[in-house]
């Protein structure tokens, strides 16, 4: 009986251990910040420049990544948002959007869920302003003005605090809700920053599931009008892992690549080189094809591609 | 438009990240698996008449073959294409060949 009690106690301890060791979140913050009313306000709330002073190298890496241009894109994301508005929202009979002024935050979430999750903290005026700004940028012929508009669009991005605060904890009932004064990473303690004064460990920041929040599994069925772009995490879970793969997203895209927070994909030569093993074999022969065409002198090139990635390529 | 053109219904598919739930055929390279492709390239030849007989002659017995794996996001070489891999090699067919039809 005593042994059973000890085993039961140890089992309960093991169940609770993860939440003890990584008790980084807390109660759902009772007070929410008022919704941002302009792009500038929303951008300021998620501005990463205050992180630059102490984390210069990481900041420079991030600045080169597409996370820093998540709405602008390469720049093909911003025009795609407009196509979604003009060829989608305005033509859908039940979207409620006939003109740009009808656009609400919920309408843009088909893109913003991943490209700008913080849009949830903004008023519908910001959704309208985003569309208006992209439209103006695409039409602007004056280079300086176009650049100014481009900077405004680029001010909306997946900055430090999106990953290291708002999206840092996935299972909030288990680990608690991200706290407004805490930056989540690999360490805990005090943090020299006027707003984020504490550091806490994020239970999943270095796990693939963390990236899966945006680089997801498939259509966003939770939306009234599901969209779908990134499915890498689905490919990771249902194709890579069953084949025996065991690396995490961060392992390849951050550590082995040496790119750190400059997380890249096919546009990076480093990532392209890491992605594939290609074997080519060739030979030549005479092919006695048929009576009409006779013998054809032929070269044969056999190509074998082995995809070393944790997901199918390409994904776009 | 970030939706599949036919909303994932029917047999029509398109290209693009948002078209994936409308896929009916996947040509991507799956992870940790080998995909093989073979390419047959005829050497250039000409059918000529020699001594009153029709015969076939190789006009080149060497080919410079460039193999490039392209990712073409918009289906056209419009400046957005990316080469994942490239290889150039010479393939020879220098053995003696007597054409017999």
Q: What part of B 71-100 touches A (C-beta under 8 Å)? A: 71, 73, 80, 82, 84-85, 87, 89, 91-93, 97, 99-100
ipTM score for this prediction: 0.91
Residue A166 sits in the same domain as residue A299? no
- Do the domain assignments include residue A289? yes
Residue A35 sits in the same domain as residue A160? yes
Residue A7's pLDDT band (boundaries 50, 70, 90)?
low
Residue A46, judged by CB atoms within 10 A of its CB (0-12, 13-18, 19+), counts as buried
Residue B26: its chain A contacts at CB < 8 A? Answer: 312
pLDDT value at A8 more than 60 = no
Give the number of domains in chain A.
2
Rounded to a whole number, what is the distance in Å from the CA of A155 to chain B's nearest CA?
Answer: 22
Q: Give the model's pLDDT for residue A104.
A: 98
Q: Residues A118-140: what's their mean pLDDT?
A: 98
Compare CB distances from B1 to A87, A231, A287 and report the shortest one's residue: A87
- Do the domain assignments include residue A12? no
Q: Give the model's pLDDT for residue A15.
A: 46
Residue A186 sits in the same domain as residue A288? no
Compare CB distances from A80 to B2, B8, B87 and report the shortest one's residue: B2
Q: Give the model's pLDDT for residue A85.
A: 96
B18 or A134, higher pLDDT: A134
Residue B8: its chain A contacts at CB < 8 A? Answer: 219
A298/B69 touch (CB, cutoff 8 Å), yes or no: no
- Do the domain assignments include residue A81? yes
pLDDT value at A19 more than 50 = no
Residue A146 sits in the same domain as residue A32? yes
B35/A316 touch (CB, cutoff 8 Å), yes or no: no
Residue A183 sits in the same domain as residue A278? no
- Do the domain assignments include residue A30? yes
Q: Give the model's pLDDT for residue A194.
A: 95
Name the residue in chain B with its Cα closest to that of A295. B101
Choose, out of A282, A287, A308, the residue to mutate when testing the contact with B (most B CBs < 10 Å). A282
Residue A178 sits in the same domain as residue A295? no
Residue A193 sits in the same domain as residue A106? yes
Residue A66 sits in the same domain as residue A146? yes
Name the residue in chain B with its Cα closest to that of A271. B84
Residue B30: its chain A contacts at CB < 8 A? Answer: 239, 243, 307, 312
Domain boundary among A185, A207, A229: A207
Rounded to a whole number, what is the distance in Å from the CA of B77 to chain A's nearest CA?
Answer: 15
- B56 at A interface, C-beta within 8 A: yes
Distance CA A295, CA A253 (A): 50
Residue A138 sits in the same domain as residue A287? no
Taking only the tens place, the pLDDT of each residue in B41-93 is 999 999 999 889 889 999 999 999 999 999 998 899 999 999 999 999 999 99
A18 or A112, higher pLDDT: A112
Domain that residue A287 falls in: 274-307
- Do the domain assignments include residue A269? no
Residue A52 sits in the same domain as residue A192? yes
- Do the domain assignments include residue A245? no
- Do the domain assignments include residue A290? yes
Distance CA A180, CA A198 (A): 10
- Residues counted in chain B: 101
Rounded to a whole number, what is the distance in Å from the CA of A51 to chain B's nearest CA?
Answer: 32
Compare CB distances from B42 to A239, A244, A297 and report the shortest one's residue: A297
- Do the domain assignments include residue A144? yes
Compare CB distances from B84 to A231, A272, A294 and report the shortest one's residue: A272
Domain boundary among A174, A207, A240: A207
Lowest mean pLDDT among A4-18, A52-66, A213-227, B7-21: A4-18
Residue A143 sits in the same domain as residue A288? no
Q: Give the model's pLDDT for residue A9.
A: 53
Neighbours of A38 (CB within 10 A): 13
The alpha helices in chain A, defined as continuous H runs, are 2-21, 39-45, 49-52, 56-63, 77-83, 105-115, 124-139, 143-154, 160-161, 172-175, 208-212, 232-235, 249-250, 269-275
Residue A198 sits in the same domain as residue A292? no
Domain boundary among A207, A227, A250: A207
């Amino acid at each position: 009986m005593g042994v059973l009690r000890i085993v039961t106690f140890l089992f309960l301890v093991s169940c609770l251990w993860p939440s003890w060791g990584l008790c980084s979140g807390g109660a759902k913050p009772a007070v929410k910040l008022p919704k941002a009313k302009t792009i500038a306000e929303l951008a300021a709330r998620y501005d990463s420049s205050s992180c630059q002073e102490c984390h210069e190298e990481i900041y420079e890496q991030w600045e080169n990544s597409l996370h820093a241009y998540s709405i602008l894109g390469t720049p093909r994301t911003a025009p795609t948002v407009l196509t979604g508005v003009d060829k989608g929202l305005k033509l859908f009979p039940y979207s409620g959007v006939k003109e740009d002024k009808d656009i609400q935050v919920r309408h843009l979430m088909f893109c913003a869920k991943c490209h700008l999750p913080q849009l949830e903290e903004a008023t519908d005026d910001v959704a309208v302003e985003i569309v208006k700004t992209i439209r103006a940028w695409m039409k602007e012929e004056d280079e300086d003005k176009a650049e100014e508009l481009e900077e405004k669009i680029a001010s909306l991005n997946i900055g430090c605090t999106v990953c290291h605060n708002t999206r840092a904890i996935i299972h909030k009932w288990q680990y608690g809700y991200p706290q407004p004064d805490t930056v989540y990473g690999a360490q805990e303690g005090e943090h020299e920053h006027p707003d984020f004064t504490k550091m806490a460990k994020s239970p999943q920041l270095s796990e693939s599931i963390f990236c899966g929040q945006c680089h997801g599994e498939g259509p966003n069925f939770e939306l009234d009008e599901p969209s779908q772009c990134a499915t890498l995490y689905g490919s990771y879970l249902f194709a890579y892992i069953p084949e025996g793969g065991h690396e995490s997203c961060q392992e390849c895209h951050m550590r082995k690549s040496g790119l750190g927070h400059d997380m890249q994909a096919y546009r990076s030569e480093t990532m392209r080189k890491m992605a594939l093993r290609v074997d080519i074999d060739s030979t030549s022969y005479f092919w006695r094809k048929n009576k009409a065409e006779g013998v054809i002198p032929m070269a044969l090139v056999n190509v074998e591609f082995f995809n070393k990635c944790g997901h199918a390529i390409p994904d776009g | 438009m970030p939706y599949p053109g036919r909303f994932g219904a029917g047999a029509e598919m398109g290209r693009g990240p948002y078209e994936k739930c409308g896929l009916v055929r996947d040509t991507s390279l799956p992870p940790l698996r080998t995909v093989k492709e073979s390419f047959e390239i005829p050497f250039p030849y000409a059918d000529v008449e020699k001594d009153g007989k029709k015969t076939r002659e190789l006009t080149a017995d060497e080919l410079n073959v460039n193999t490039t794996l392209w990712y073409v996001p918009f289906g056209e070489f419009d400046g957005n294409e990316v080469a994942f891999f490239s290889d150039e090699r010479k393939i020879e067919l220098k053995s003696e060949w007597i054409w017999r039809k």
